[in-house]
Each structure stands twice: as structure tokens, then as C-alpha cells.
């Protein structure tokens, strides 16, 4: 299973024309936090995922989209 959270955070952030720093400010965090999310070094907790989905105006399912590995 490939989780696409990192790719989706970057995609939706860019759709809104925000820098990593700007998104970090909205989440009351540091730019490095967003960078770590987008590069897959860390994964947001459930609370932060919900906040991101709400901010991006998408469902949580859309944000954490995953692809099944072939059977």
C-alpha cells in the first residue's frame, strides 16, 4: 500500500498558492514541519490531518488517499 499523504499535502498547498512557510503559519507550526510532511519524513497526526483536510476543503479520504499494491 502506498499512502499519498505527502504528495497530496504538497499538491493542495500549491493549488492554494501557499508556500510551506505560509501553511506552517496557518497550522501554528514551523516551515520544517511542512517540509517533513511533504518529503515523507514524518506524517501528520490525526488532528493535523483533519485540520489540513478542512483547510484544503477536501475530505480526509482525499487527503490520505492510498494505492493498493497489486495482489
Estimate the crossing angle of helix 5-15 against helix 46-56, to 10 degrees: 30
Each residue's pLDDT tens digit, 23-71: 999 999 999 999 999 999 999 999 999 999 999 999 999 999 876 665 5
- Which carries the bigger pLDDT value, residue 5 or residue 68? 5
Residue 2 has pLDDT above 90, yes or no: no
Backbone angles phi, psi at 4, to 5 degrees: -110, 25
Residue at grid coordinates 514541519: 33
Residue 66 DSSP one-character state: E
| Domains of the chain listed by start with CATH number | 2-66 (1.10.260.40)
Amino acid at each position: 500500500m502506498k499512502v499519498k499523504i505527502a504528495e497530496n499535502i504538497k499538491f493542495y498547498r500549491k493549488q492554494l498558492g501557499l508556500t510551506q512557510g505560509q501553511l506552517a503559519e496557518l497550522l501554528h507550526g514551523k516551515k520544517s514541519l511542512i517540509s517533513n510532511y511533504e518529503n515523507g519524513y514524518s506524517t501528520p497526526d490525526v488532528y493535523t490531518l483533519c485540520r489540513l483536510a478542512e483547510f484544503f476543503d477536501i475530505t480526509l479520504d482525499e487527503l490520505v488517499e492510498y494505492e493498493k499494491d497489486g495482489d
